[in-house]
Structure 1
Amino acid sequence: MIRPFNSSAPSLLFGCLFSPLLLADEAPLELNQQIISAPSVESTTVADMAHYGSKVDIVSREQIERAGPGADVSRVMQMFIPGLYVAPKNGPFDYGTYSLLGGRNDDTLILLDGVRLNNRLYGGLYLDTLPANAIERIEVLKGGQSLLFGTQAVSGVINIVTRSPQRRKASGEVNMGLDTFGGTTGDARVENIFSNGFGDLGLLAYVSHNVSDGYQPFRNRDMKNVTEKKRAYEVTTFGGKAIQSFGDDSRLELFYQYADANLDFARPVGNHKTTNDRVQQIATATFGQNLNERLSYFVKGHVNDWDTRYTRINNVEGGATRVINHNDYWGFTDWGIQAEGKAESSDGHVLVFGTDNQWFKGQDDVLIIDNDKAEAHAIYTQLRPRIDALPDWHPSIGVRHEAMGGGDSATVGMLTSLYDLNDNWAVRGQYGSAYKLPNAEQLFVNEPGDEIGNRNLKPEKSRNAELGLDYKGLLLDRAFSASVTVFKRKIDDLITLDDSRWVNGEGQVRMRGFEADAKLALNAQWSLQADMTRNLTESRSGATINDIPSFFARSRIGFESENRLWGAGGAIRYIRDVTSSKQVEYGHYSVIDADAYRYLDNARQHRVSLLVENLFDRDYVTSRASNVDNLGRPFTSEVRYTYRF
């Protein structure tokens, strides 16, 4: 069974500190409202938090399109989310290592249209089958966010928002791409908004197919008796969305996505063929209503079903092979229902209140887990007062209680604050607690000599503080925006392995650091942008956190022609030292990427895009497994043709 890989020039970049890796100045709060009436209160949750002191970044559809013809979600996030460290294990559509504001691999909660993708069987992040063509935007809410989002929102929340119908006539696009490794990608989308007796009905459907033989992720000297030296993938996804409005005050949204993935798993020693063959289905139903101008609510139900067949065939001496696993099953089903309301008083006070209920079941034919069922139920509320004597101050306070069936409960609170100093400057901050419930493996695994679960595990608890300063205005008479965030986190009851048994360790981990990002418009065509993050970890009593870089930074320069018919850009990312779970240091690399696009007609129906990844073919290490370096993607050139109608 294969689970997510969970590994626990600065002067040059600083000189280039203002390059376009972020969004336009107003983008974080402009969420591209649909034509369909009756917007849901749910769609405003992330943007609302930006008004009350949380740091919010938005990755736009335009940026997603620049991430490359064969881009998956990890690639998009690696390029465009400030402060997020992403290290795909063996290229596109593979497991990865992620760190936001110094967090561990599963300290960030990943949502798809508000549906949890972090599962309760093993924890970790499962993003390796999500195509970028289905995404409208990515919303990033930073810092401890357990108040509104629950377990695992320790260092932040990333909400991946799928595309919705926008136009009242049949329209869409078709894309075809090819890369220098022979990988191909194709996708299509069609949408339309109709009027009927109830209101507007928006329909959208999409399909994508990505296939590649991949690249060799290990050096020749590290590979012994290996048949399959490249890590290939084939991913097919289709989905659809229907949004029906009922007058101007309510709407029903239905979403479904089906992904079928055949994914190789690369091994450096004795590997003949190892594969994960997977089917994932996600379905949601959301009803939202504005009862009046001061009271609104939504109710969302979801199902996330994951089924994997795992096959592992080893080479043995003499040229023979040995089957270790043959179509062994592991998978899980998460389902739940959430309800949230928002009420505003006549004097401007806002109250948010809700309940979040989740059920889980899983199965694993390889790893013995005695109990593969779990459930969790939460209630939460947040008050956003308006203080007439301080009109520029926007505070909030809230509390959440969550109880897990068969386990301990957790209660957290959160204070946030935004103060507009003037038209250009704002100071923000948040302080509160977050938690991470133990997963089924940690509670119920039963592998004597390897892993033993602990039914008495308590949730991990953390105290989080973030303080930030934002500026938006002019620098040398040019549009300029910048942001600095200082963060600090202390984790107690750390869930860790003590020899072979899962326990709440006596150790304590403290994480602190800062994140800075900025954007400068040199003129109407040229822009510069960058971000950098510094992480400092202090471990006590043997507790450790691994695979988090002490420093990383990215910088980008972009050009758009005056008529916006063509553009180009270049970016560099630098990763300083990273320490593996075996206390081996790696990292210390810089990678340069470039991209360009050209519309072939003034109507902008035909476009050609180019991405060059790892321009100078740098040999660099993204992670380590079995004391062997996993290499990042080598020089890769990708070209894509787009037709829009």
Structure 2
Amino acid sequence: MTTTHTSLARDWRAPRRSMGGALLGCLFSPWLLADDTSLKLDQQFVSAPSVESTTVAEMAKYGSKVEIIDRQQIERAGPSSDITRVLQMYVPGLYVAPKNGPFDYGTYSLLGGRNDDTLILLDGVRLNNRLYGGLYLDTLPANAIERIEVLKGGQSLLFGTQAVSGVINIVTRSPQTRDASGEVNLGLDSFMGRSGDARVERIVSNGLGDLGLLAYVSHNVSDGYQPFRNSAYNTSTKDKKRSYEVTTFGAKAIQGVGDDSRLELFYQYTDANLDFARAANNKKTTNDRVQQIATATFEQRLGERFSYFVKGHVNDWDTRYTRINSNDDGGIKVINHNDYWGFTDWGVQAEGKAELDGGHVLVFGTDNQWFKGQDDVLKIDDNNAQANALYAQLRPVFETLPDWHPSIGVRHEKISGGESATVGMLTSLYDLTSNWQLRGQFGSAFKLPNAEQLFANEEDEKGNRNLKPEKSVNAELGLDYKGSLLAGEFNASTTVFQRKIDDLIALDGIDWVNGEGRIKVRGIEVDGRWQFSPQWTLSADMTRNLVESRNGVTLSNIPGFFARSRLGFESQDRMWGVGGALRYIGQIDSPKKIDYGHYSVVDADAYRYLDAAQQHRLSLLVENLFDRDYSTSIASNNPRVDNLGRPFTTEVRYTYRF
């Protein structure tokens, strides 16, 4: 299904930095960041090295575009923020539309991709489930996250299915100090939404080496806002707001064994009570959910030229769905009562990296995953699947071309209940000058059919056990600049991309089929950042997507154009700062050809430290400053009902660090 790399750029690094120091300098230079802050990874004391992360992190060094969203940016996303809002605010080239505010489903599009063309990972564990293939980020609190790493373009070589337009890896926080430390946050918004979270960490030494321990907890609750226009509600609707209550706790332990080995254990538990908003006849509709994620990773460096890791993970999701209608006569009708749907993904991956004579690097691994799922609402005949993959990548060195950094690789993946898929990938980075770099990627990607598409057995939807994997050929070409403009630091990046999709998996009436012909997606992404004074920073990005229809098949919910800009100011002593952001969304067509785009939204944020030691901090977020009425998606077509974005909202947060 997919590989399980922990991170594109790791919280922990080895004392041996012959390769890691150059890598981190490449990855975290300001020209790859999405905002006006630099990611600092200098508070790390665990002695044993982390070798797992380097496989993916070094893809930036070989021609892949990487974006990093750091902890300071996450904090500015507001006290009740979830991951969806953070992504919406900060990732260039990524379109995000939360359906009905925080802790809800969302629509995502990266480099012209569809909602399930982007693979989402939490510490390397896939969050796209094999039941429906969707992106379920609505229960991830932002306080538990250290940073978000976005690897753009087709990435099936290292990650397998659904990494068609890119990978988003959400990296949880890790212990970074030897003294017991942590923080407490309390937040309140203008809809009386309340949030609270706490974290504590410490690194100690024992007989084996360094042991890092961290634990966190968070609680977010709100009655929410009215997600539909007044005209959409009928007289029988009783519950007009979409509320949520989300509680999460997690823990991480990292044990260094000598100077060459480390063991990492992680566990996160989330309990979420989420309203599922409906405009007509709604008395109560809820998704009550428990999600558990656990990982265990052992990493070891054997000498200076070989390292490996072995990782196991479990992602368990259990939802109880209730839908109760209110009738015109005042009575009620129970449609669903605690009906179950859920899934369990578990897997084991092993990967090695060897440095060969001449400086060439060989990466190779195996990825084995198993899946089971059940849905009492949508009937699915077969609820078990498994996938097994082998992959390898060579990163050659040419002494005659010292400024050229290429890689080439291949992956073969087999899934039960479907055909196998084989993909290849070629990447290249060329240092034109000290200021300019030319990068490119070319390769194939695939998306395996999910359980719904294979095995659905409803009157209005029939699965197809003979579905072939969806295949695509992807190409990205980029030019990056890092230098100065009018005495200020300036960097800019341009990426053109194209994707050709064969065997498109789509509904033909009630039947899932592989479509005929080839669908083409192409576009351009431009982003830049200019720090025109020590205090002022301006950043902006824009993306143009062109999607071709073929034989009546159209890719929907992909914006034809969207753009964002942000202006930020920080005082010289960094005791306070303010910022404002504007995002514009152009035409977006629903599956029924309804255009629900063409809107702009303005947000603002500010922070102030209350003491010189910067232990006490107040933060403010104003979302949708001008109270713009806009649609995030279409809930129904006849009559038309739009899901509305969050209205004008103010949020304040107090932070205490110790």
Give CA deviations for 1:51-95 in whole Å, capped at 9, x if unaligned: 000000100011001110100000000001110000000000000
How far apart, in 1, do the equivalents of 2:240 and 2:135 lie?
25
Answer yes or no: is the 8 Å Cα contact 1:20–1:527 preserved in 2. no
SS in structure 1 opposite 2:597? strand
SS in structure 1 opposite 2:288? strand
SS in structure 2 opposite 1:76? helix
Residue of structure 2 in register with 1:270 after alignment:
281
SS in structure 2 opposite 1:377? strand
Give CA deviations for 1:374-427 in whole Å, capped at 9, x if unaligned: 000000000000000000000000000000012100000000000000100000
Report which structure shows greater RCO (CA 8 Å, sep ≥6).
1
Give 1:543 shift.
1.5
Alignment partner of 2:320 out of 294, 302, 309? 309
Give 1:636 shift.
0.3
- Where does structure 1 differ by over 4 angstroms across 4 or more consecutive aligned residues? 18-21, 24-27, 30-33
Q: TM-score, normalised by structure 1?
A: 0.96
Which letter does structure 2 place at the counterpart of 1:68?
G
Residue of structure 1 in register with 2:198 after alignment:
188
Answer yes or no: is the 8 Å Cα contact 1:556–1:572 preserved in 2. yes
Residue of structure 1 in register with 2:648 after alignment:
635
Q: Which moved more, 1:255-264 or 1:508-517?
A: 508-517
Residue of structure 2 in register with 1:354 after alignment:
365
Q: Which moved more, 1:506-515 or 1:168-177?
A: 506-515
Give 1:47 shift.
2.3
Alignment partner of 2:518 out of 499, 508, 530? 508
Give CA deviations for 1:345-384 in whole Å, capped at 9, x if unaligned: 2321000001111100011111111100000000000000
Residue of structure 2 in register with 1:328 after alignment:
339
Give 1:32 shift.
5.8
Q: How many residues align?
A: 625
Residue of structure 1 in register with 2:138 after alignment:
128
Residue of structure 2 in register with 1:319 after alignment:
330
Give 1:292 shift.
1.2
Give 1:220 shift.
0.5
SS in structure 2 opposite 1:607? strand
Matched, 1:424 2:440: no
Could you say if the C-alpha distance between residues 501 and 464 of structure 1 is closer, same or farther in structure 2, counting changes exceeding 3 Å? same
Matched, 1:373 2:402: no
Residue of structure 1 in register with 2:615 after alignment:
605
How far apart, in 1, do the equivalents of 2:121 and 2:388 lie?
18
Matched, 1:48 2:58: yes
Which letter does structure 2 place at the counterpart of 1:631?
L
Residue of structure 1 in register with 2:455 after alignment:
444
How far apart, in 1, do the equivalents of 2:31 and 2:348 lie?
42
SS in structure 1 opposite 2:62? coil
Could you say if the C-alpha distance between residues 85 and 31 of structure 1 is closer, same or farther in structure 2, counting changes exceeding 3 Å? farther
SS in structure 1 opposite 2:545? strand
Residue of structure 2 in register with 1:292 after alignment:
303
Q: Which runs of 5+ in 2 are unaligned?
A: 1-29
Give 1:21 shift.
8.2
Residue of structure 2 in register with 1:363 after alignment:
374
Give CA deviations for 1:106-154 in whole Å, capped at 9, x if unaligned: 0000000001100101111010000000001101000000000000000
How far apart, in 1, do the equivalents of 2:602 and 2:254 lie?
41
Alignment partner of 1:261 out of 253, 260, 272? 272
Answer yes or no: is the 8 Å Cα contact 1:574–1:588 preserved in 2. yes
Answer yes or no: is the 8 Å Cα contact 2:55–2:363 preserved in 1. no
Task: Please show how residues 114-513 of structure 1 align to structure 2 within 5 Å.
Answer: 114-224=124-234, 225-448=236-459, 450-513=460-523
SS in structure 2 opposite 1:579? coil
How far apart, in 2, do the equivalents of 1:160 and 1:97 lie?
17
How far apart, in 2, do the equivalents of 1:206 and 1:246 lie?
25
Could you say if the C-alpha distance between residues 507 and 247 of structure 1 is closer, same or farther in structure 2, counting changes exceeding 3 Å? same
SS in structure 1 opposite 2:417? coil
Alignment partner of 1:83 out of 89, 93, 96? 93
Alignment partner of 1:22 out of 21, 34, 37? 34
SS in structure 1 opposite 2:89? helix
How far apart, in 2, do the equivalents of 1:587 and 1:536 lie?
15
Residue of structure 2 in register with 1:14 after alignment:
none
Alignment partner of 2:555 out of 537, 541, 545? 545
Answer yes or no: is the 8 Å Cα contact 1:20–1:519 preserved in 2. no
Which letter does structure 2 place at the counterpart of 1:608?
L
Answer yes or no: is the 8 Å Cα contact 1:286–1:299 preserved in 2. yes
Percent identity of paired positions between Structure 1 and Structure 2: 76
Answer yes or no: is the 8 Å Cα contact 2:35–2:539 preserved in 1. no
Residue of structure 2 in register with 1:99 after alignment:
109
Could you say if the C-alpha distance between residues 24 and 382 of structure 1 is closer, same or farther in structure 2, counting changes exceeding 3 Å? farther
Matched, 1:571 2:581: yes
Which letter does structure 2 place at the counterpart of 1:643?
Y
SS in structure 2 opposite 1:221? helix
How far apart, in 2, do the equivalents of 1:412 and 1:19 lie?
31
Residue of structure 1 in register with 2:13 after alignment:
none
Give 1:19 shift.
13
Alignment partner of 1:530 out of 537, 540, 550? 540
How far apart, in 2, do the equivalents of 1:168 and 1:558 lie?
33
Which letter does structure 2 place at the counterpart of 1:426?
Q
How far apart, in 1, do the equivalents of 2:229 and 2:416 lie?
47
Answer yes or no: is the 8 Å Cα contact 1:38–1:290 preserved in 2. no
Answer yes or no: is the 8 Å Cα contact 2:406–2:428 preserved in 1. yes
Residue of structure 2 in register with 1:12 after alignment:
none
Which letter does structure 1 place at the counterpart of 2:312?
G
SS in structure 1 opposite 2:242? coil
Give CA deviations for 1:308-339 in whole Å, capped at 9, x if unaligned: 00000011121111000000011000000111
Residue of structure 1 in register with 2:48 after alignment:
38
SS in structure 1 opposite 2:207? coil
Answer yes or no: is the 8 Å Cα contact 1:177–1:185 preserved in 2. yes
Answer yes or no: is the 8 Å Cα contact 1:21–1:79 preserved in 2. no
Q: CA RMSD in A?
A: 1.4
Q: Which runs of 5+ in 1 are unaligned?
A: 1-17
Residue of structure 2 in register with 1:15 after alignment:
none
Residue of structure 1 in register with 2:6 after alignment:
none
SS in structure 1 opposite 2:72? helix
How far apart, in 1, do the equivalents of 2:423 and 2:437 lie?
27
Answer yes or no: is the 8 Å Cα contact 2:342–2:374 preserved in 1. yes
Could you say if the C-alpha distance between residues 320 and 32 of structure 1 is closer, same or farther in structure 2, counting changes exceeding 3 Å? farther
Answer yes or no: is the 8 Å Cα contact 1:19–1:557 preserved in 2. no
SS in structure 2 opposite 1:42? coil
Could you say if the C-alpha distance between residues 32 and 137 of structure 1 is closer, same or farther in structure 2, counting changes exceeding 3 Å? farther
Residue of structure 2 in register with 1:10 after alignment:
none
How far apart, in 2, do the equivalents of 1:275 and 1:31 lie?
41
Which letter does structure 1 place at the counterpart of 2:415?
M
Could you say if the C-alpha distance between residues 399 and 31 of structure 1 is closer, same or farther in structure 2, counting changes exceeding 3 Å? farther
Residue of structure 2 in register with 1:8 after alignment:
none
